[in-house]
Structures are given as structure tokens and as C-alpha cells.
Amino acid sequence: MAKIKDVLSENRPTLSFEVFPPKSADLYESVEKAAGEIAALNPSFMSVTCGAGGGNRQYTVEIAADLRNRFNVSSLAHLTCVAATKESVDTAIADMKTHGIENVLALRGDLPAGMEALPENVAFHHANELVEYIRANSDLCIGGACYPEGHPEAGSKDEDIKNLKRKVDTGCDFLTTQMFFDNSILYNYLYRIREAGIEVPVCAGIMPITNAKSAKRSVELSGCVFPARFRALMDRFGSDPGAMMQAGIAYATDQIIDLIANGVYHIHVYSMNKPEVARGIAANLSQIIK
Ligand code: FAD
């Protein structure tokens, strides 16, 4: 299995998928089945999210381990630090090592509702501190998150990019972007971060919107903007599940093809435990990402 920085160092398109872990043991099997079906598409790697509070972290590691050890796909385990201590991060690193996981996405996680900043006395205030700690205490390949439309808490995009530069300089090997629905936003962002001296590979995060509920949730979570072309598609097909599924996969495919045509080679699809969505996208790209 490979470190993701090596996968991304090759000058060719890559396609990766994301799944989320089960909330409880009785759901483990169904998540594992969905992850296995997506893994059968032979993606460049797969990532597994974790809850901001870290409560389901064990399942994150177990699904990531299944992907690597049973389904033969390089896996990336997410790790949040908003509620972490140095001891809990030590345990997380040790668990990953035991399961053979080589890649971690180091995240802060969202602040608890109503909180504007973390108290002084917590172990980690921002993801750069987690990146620094993991770098000093493991040989994991480390990814970080970035936000083409700016992180919702940042005062400005410039400030957000300065913070990102600090995080990358601390030890990120690669970045994955928040979802976006207008590629011109990503092209502008890439220009700005490269100008700021951020040189690590960037995976473009693509969210296929396949139902009206996921559209609402995506906007709430990320604050991203839907372009008029996407809103028209939602208006027309949003109430017809089959049509919306087809239209959402087509829109995501169109975004990905435009990105690759313009030299953005690394595509990370928020496939959300939906093998049918991952399959639809992979089939549409079968001759483009081989
Ligand atoms: P940070 O890099 O710490 O940035 C957060 C904010 O603080 C930004 O506004 C930034 O500009 C600012 N900032 C950063 N460093 C500093 C500093 N040193 N001083 C002052 N300000 C600073 N959430 C989950 O709970 N689980 C997941 O699995 C998960 N996966 C994600 C995957 C991707 C690809 C992305 C893009 C997001 C994901 N998230 C996940 C959401 C993420 O946890 C939230 O967006 C969170 O609010 C910020 O996390 P971060 O790691 O980007 O934080």
C-alpha cells in the first residue's frame, strides 16, 4: 500500500472516494459493505471521516484498516483535534500503526455550537498544532483541509490562506479541498495559494448532489455557493429522485472533466457511502482516468 504523497506525486489523474464510519456497531457491516463496493472500483485511495468529538474514531480506523487490509486500497483516516488531548492523539497514532494505516487527514473539526474559539487550556487550538504533533510523533503521511471559498470562521480569504500556509509548512504532505460547485472558484484559489508559496499537491473535493436533502446539508455545512446552472438543475429535477441522481452524477462528472482538462489532476469524490454514485462517476470517467 502506498503513502498518498507518493500516489499524488505521479503526473497523472487520480480518483479517490470518501466514506463515513458507522455510528454504532450494528451499522458496521453495512458501511463495510458499501466501502468494499466502492473499493472494487480500484480508486487511487479512499478516505474515512471521523466525528468532530472523536467518539467514533475507533470505527474510522477499523473501516480504514478494512479498506487497506481486506480490499487492497490505500486508506486515509481522518483525525480531529477539537476535543482531543495529547494522550488521545497518541492512542490514535498507535491504533493507526497497529492497523497498518499510513495516511492521516489532520483536522481541527467544527467548534461546538455557540463557541467562537477554543479555551486557552486545550491541547490543540488549530489543525496546524495537530499536524505539528503528528509530524513529531509518527512517520504518517499527513493531509490537511483547505477551503476554496474561504473557511467560514476566517476574517478574509487572505487570512485563511496565511493560516493554511502555516499549516502546510508545519508538515502537510497534501491538501484536500472543501466541496465547490463552480470550478472557476477553485482555479482562482489554486492561483492564490501557489502565489502564497503553498506547493503541496491539492485534491479537488467534488460532492455529487443526488438529492435535495444533501443539497441543503452541503450548503449548511460548507457555506459554499451553488451557481445558477446548478440551481436550475435542482429546480427542474429536485423532486424526482431518479432524475436528480442522474443529473447530480452528470454535473459532478462535468466538473471533474473540466478540472482534468485544465490540469487539476487529483479528484476526491465525497461519495458518502453510496456505491451507486461512485460507480456512476467512475463509469463516466473510465477512459479519462485509467
Ligand atoms: P484549521 O486549519 O484549524 O482552520 C480552522 C479556522 O481557523 C480557519 O478559519 C483558519 O483560517 C483558522 N486558523 C487556522 N490556523 C490558525 C491559527 N494558527 N491561528 C488562528 N487561526 C487559524 N470535520 C469533521 O468533524 N470530521 C471529518 O472527517 C472532516 N473531514 C473534512 C475533510 C475535508 C477535506 C474538509 C475540507 C473538511 C473536513 N471536516 C471534517 C470539516 C472541518 O473539521 C471543519 O471545516 C473545521 O471547522 C476546520 O477544520 P480545519 O482542519 O480546516 O481547521
Any idea what the CATH number is for the domain that residue 280 is in?
A: 3.20.20.220
Other C-beta atoms within 10 Å of 125: how many? Answer: 15
Environment class of 80 (CB within 10 Å of its CB; exposed 0-12, middle 13-18, buried 19+): buried
Confidence of residue 52 (pLDDT cuts 50, 70, 90): confident
Any domain includes 290: no
Confidence of residue 290 (pLDDT cuts 50, 70, 90): confident
Q: In terms of pLDDT, which residue wins out, 175 or 119?
A: 175
CA of 173 to the centre of ligand 1 (A): 16
Structurally, the chain folds into a number of domains equal to 1
- The CA-CA-CA angle for residues 89, 175, 12, to 5°, reads 130
Q: Is the pLDDT of residue 279 over 90?
A: yes
Share of the chain above pLDDT 90, in %: 87
Confidence of residue 26 (pLDDT cuts 50, 70, 90): very high
Q: Does any ligand 1 atom lie closer than 6 A to the CB of residue 272?
A: no
Dihedral sign of CA atoms 170, 220, 260, 13 in order = positive
Confidence of residue 149 (pLDDT cuts 50, 70, 90): very high
* Nearest in space to 80 (alpha carbons), one of 122, 110, 103: 110
Q: Does any ligand 1 atom lie closer than 6 A to the CB of residue 160?
A: yes
Query: How much is the pLDDT for 56?
Result: 83
Catalogue the long-range contacts made by 85-94 (C-beta closer than 8 Å, 24 or more residues apart): 85/123, 86/123, 86/133, 88/54, 89/123, 89/124, 89/130, 89/133, 89/134, 89/137, 90/137, 92/54, 92/57, 92/61, 93/134, 93/137, 93/138, 93/140
Any domain includes 267: yes
The amino acid sitting at 221 is L
Any domain includes 39: yes
Please report where in the chains the cell 470562521 appears, as a residue: 153
Which atom belonging to ligand 1 lies closest to the Cα atom of 205? 34
**Residue of 105, 126, 131 with the most ligand 1 atoms within 8 Å of its CB, for mutation:** 126
Any domain includes 235: yes
Query: How much is the pLDDT for 54?
Result: 75
Confidence of residue 55 (pLDDT cuts 50, 70, 90): confident
CA of 176 to the centre of ligand 1 (A): 11
Q: Is the pLDDT of residue 216 over 90?
A: no
Please report where in the chains the cell 468529538 appears, as a residue: 53
pLDDT digits (tens, 9 = 90+) for 231-266: 999 999 999 999 999 999 999 999 999 999 999 999
Query: How much is the pLDDT for 19?
Result: 98
Q: Does any ligand 1 atom lie closer than 6 A to the CB of residue 56?
A: no
Any domain includes 101: yes
Query: How much is the pLDDT for 217?
Result: 81
Query: How much is the pLDDT for 2?
Result: 86
Cβ neighbors of 258 (< 8 A, separation 6 or more) are 183
Query: How much is the pLDDT for 214?
Result: 82
Cβ neighbors of 90 (< 8 A, separation 6 or more) are 137
Q: Does any ligand 1 atom lie closer than 6 A to the CB of residue 178?
A: yes
Cβ neighbors of 155 (< 8 A, separation 6 or more) are none
User: Could you list the residue range(s) of the whole structural domain that residue 65 is in?
Assistant: 4-284
Other C-beta atoms within 10 Å of 198: how many? Answer: 19
Classify residue 229 by its DSSP letter: H
Whole-number average pLDDT of the chain? 95
Any domain includes 240: yes
Q: Does any ligand 1 atom lie closer than 6 A to the CB of residue 202?
A: no
**Across 161-187, average pLDDT:** 98
- Is 18 one of the catalytic residues? yes
Any domain includes 112: yes
Query: How much is the pLDDT for 117?
Result: 85
Phi-psi region of 265 (alpha: psi -120 to 50; beta: other; left: phi over 0): alpha
User: In this structure, which residue's CA is closest to atom 51 in ligand 1?
Assistant: 107
CA of 109 to the centre of ligand 1 (A): 6
Any domain includes 96: yes
User: In this structure, which residue's CA is closest to atom 43 in ligand 1?
Assistant: 109
pLDDT digits (tens, 9 = 90+) for 87-100: 999 999 999 999 99
